[in-house]
Amino acid sequence: MNILIVGSGAREHAIAAALHRSPQQPHIFCCGTSLNPGISQMTYHYWTGDITDVAAVTKMAKEWQIDLAIIGPEAPLEKGLADALWQNAIPTVGPKRALAQIETSKSFARDLMQKYDIPGLPRYRKFQELNGIPAFLAELGEGQYVVKANGLMGGKGVKVAGDHLHSFAEAISYCKEILAQGQEVVIEEKLVGQEFSFMCFSDGKQAVPMPIVQDHKRAFVNDEGPNTGGMGSYSDANHSLPFLSADDVQQAWQINEAVLRALSTELQDKYIGILYGSFIATHQGVYVIEFNARLGDPEALNVLTILTSDFVTICQAMVTGSLSADQVTFANQATVCKYAVPQGYPDDPIKDAVICIEAVKNKSRLYLASVNAVDGKIHATGSRTAAYVGVADSISMAEEIAEVEVRGIDGPLFHRDDIGTDRLIQRRIDDMRRLRGA
Ligand code: AMP
Ligand code: GLY
């Protein structure tokens, strides 16, 4: 069987690894933006180019006689790559363009939740002009709002009062900036609590959950510094997180299921692929931060590393509408993922430095990300470079493994040595307990 992976980061490396260990031994093909040697060592053919060029990727898929495609990142989903592949009779994991609006349009996602009365919706309003914005900001209150650009902004379109915006004047000036780019503005109530990622597989009728993961967006130790694509993440052996109650998990799961039902009713189409709910546990229950229409990066690394069932079977079941919970099993182990990123990342990263991974002992849990192989050397291209996933019986033990191994990635890089440590996990538990007033 010929399987195409679209994308060439660490998430796609983890997808390739999960396919590669399948007893079905598929032939793996990749369309990526750069030559990731972690992926290319497992592929039959590897094309590099613009993966948002729908016609070019579709042409490669036809030429390679692809039987099943998996789209990693959101940008090709927004361009309608899934639509084009299905039109060419290539079953695809990843929703069609209209369904992917659950990620690509923040106002679509909020409006859908409102229309279908789905719990976890913060107070929000959308604006196409400045008119009404000052009044809504005042209604939410100083320090109590979040301003978002409606469309995909590579994780840089959201500014939070208190963190990035320090007055109504600053908020209004950011709104003007968004409107000047021709984008809609979404303003919503600021939620306070612990964020978590809850992803599931969907075949259009049935959804099956993956272990819950917590990502770390901030660049530096103790959650300081600018937002990034995600510096690392952890999951626990019981597939929940130490600060979540069973009720939190249940609420989040019901929201994911309700959104999938709402999407298929609203758009009269099947959502085939991954739905990733980004949630926040607050003192008033679980709320939705946003939805993504794909696997998270780094979250995919945590979950796919401990997937014990056949990923090829899961993908086939998603595209044929025959997904069931018994096809999806994960080891009851904790994982800690740490990303090594270029010095200066995210604002002013060193580009094109050569890195060396020789000192990493267990390379099967090392995932290469923004790298390019040139003449047998690995160049770090400027975004997140490589991630290591420690797996053990406890988060604490998994952290120790990840910390030792990530240090083995040699180059002008840095990582967060606090992700997954007992101290940081305890802080999350204490913060949540304080919020709940216990
Ligand atoms: P997003 O791009 O929507 O994932 O937002 C980026 C980050 O902004 C999230 O990970 C949250 O930390 C923060 N954020 C987004 N929406 C809210 C909200 N309503 N309340 C508090 N923080 C938010
Ligand atoms: N972990 C954040 C994301 O994948 O969007």
Give yes or no for residue 373 having a pLDDT over 70.
yes
Alpha-carbon distance 58 to 82, whole Å? 9
The protein residue with its alpha carbon nearest to ligand 1, atom 9, reads 289
Distance 156 CA to ligand 2 centre (A): 12
Give the residue, out of 125, 145, 158, with the most ligand 1 atoms within 8 A of its beta carbon, to mutate for a pocket test.
158
pLDDT value at position 438? 65
pLDDT in tens, 9-54: 999 999 999 999 999 999 999 999 999 999 999 999 999 999 999 9
Region 261-279: what's the mean pLDDT? 98
Is residue 146 lining ligand 1, measured as CB closer than 6 Å? yes
Region 273-286: what's the mean pLDDT? 97
Alpha-carbon distance 182 to 75, whole Å? 19
pLDDT in tens, 76-87: 999 999 999 999
pLDDT value at position 341? 98
Placement of tokens 């994960």 in the chain: 330
Question: Rounded mean pLDDT of the chain?
Answer: 97
- Provide φ and ψ at 384, rounded to 5°: -60, 135
Q: Ramachandran region of residue 232, left (φ > 0), alpha (ψ -120 to 50) or beta?
A: left
Residues 6+ apart with CB under 8 A from 318: 93, 201, 202, 203, 272, 273
* Ligand with an atom nearest the CA of residue 294: 2
pLDDT bracket for residue 206 (50, 70, 90):
very high
Give yes or no for residue 167 having a pLDDT over 70.
yes
pLDDT value at position 152? 80
- What's CA 385's distance to the chain center, in Å? 16
DSSP structure class, residue 330: B
pLDDT value at position 155? 66
- Say which amino acid occupies 298: P
Alpha-carbon distance 69 to 315, whole Å? 9
Give yes or no for residue 119 having a pLDDT over 70.
yes
pLDDT value at position 226? 87
Tokens of 300: 């995919």
**Nearest CA among 315, 295, 403 for reference residue 13:** 295
What domains can be seen in the chain, in order of their start residue?
A: 2-94 (3.40.50.20), 123-189 (3.30.1490.20), 194-425 (3.30.470.20)
The protein residue with its alpha carbon nearest to ligand 2, atom 5, reads 296
Is residue 404 lining ligand 1, measured as CB closer than 6 Å? no
Q: 3-state DSSP helix/strand/coil percent for the chain, to nearest 5?
A: 35, 30, 35
Is residue 223 lining ligand 1, measured as CB closer than 6 Å? no
Give the chain's end-to-end CA distance (angstroms, integer): 54
Give yes or no for residue 156 having a pLDDT over 90.
no
Residues 6+ apart with CB under 8 A from 265: 116
pLDDT value at position 227? 87
Residues 6+ apart with CB under 8 A from 178: 147, 149, 150, 157, 184, 185
pLDDT value at position 180? 94
Region 160-165: what's the mean pLDDT? 92
The protein residue with its alpha carbon nearest to ligand 1, atom 3, reads 290
- Say which amino acid occupies 216: H
pLDDT in tens, 300-346: 999 999 999 999 999 999 999 999 999 999 999 999 999 999 999 99
Residues 6+ apart with CB under 8 A from 364: 17
Placement of tokens 């409102």 in the chain: 114
CA atoms within 13 A on the CB side of 204: 19
From the CB of residue 340, how many other CB atoms can be counted at a distance below 10 Å? 27
The pTM assigned to this predicted structure is 0.97
Q: Are 72 and 295 in contact (CB under 8 A)?
A: yes
Strand 2-6 versus strand 27-32 pairing type: parallel
Ligand 1 atom showing the smallest separation from residue 122 Cα: 19
Task: Say if residue 212 is exposed, middle or buried (CB neighbours under 10 Å; 0-12, 13-18, 19+).
Answer: buried
Ligand 2 neighbours by CB, cut-off 6 Å: 215, 230, 292, 296-297, 299
Strand 68-71 versus strand 2-6 pairing type: parallel
* Ligand with an atom nearest the CA of residue 213: 2
Q: Are 288 and 278 in contact (CB under 8 A)?
A: yes
Distance 135 CA to ligand 2 centre (A): 32
pLDDT in tens, 70-118: 999 999 999 999 999 999 999 999 999 999 999 999 999 999 999 999 9
Mapping DSSP onto H, E and C, the string for 402-413 reads HHHHHCCCECCE
Give yes or no for residue 153 having a pLDDT over 90.
no
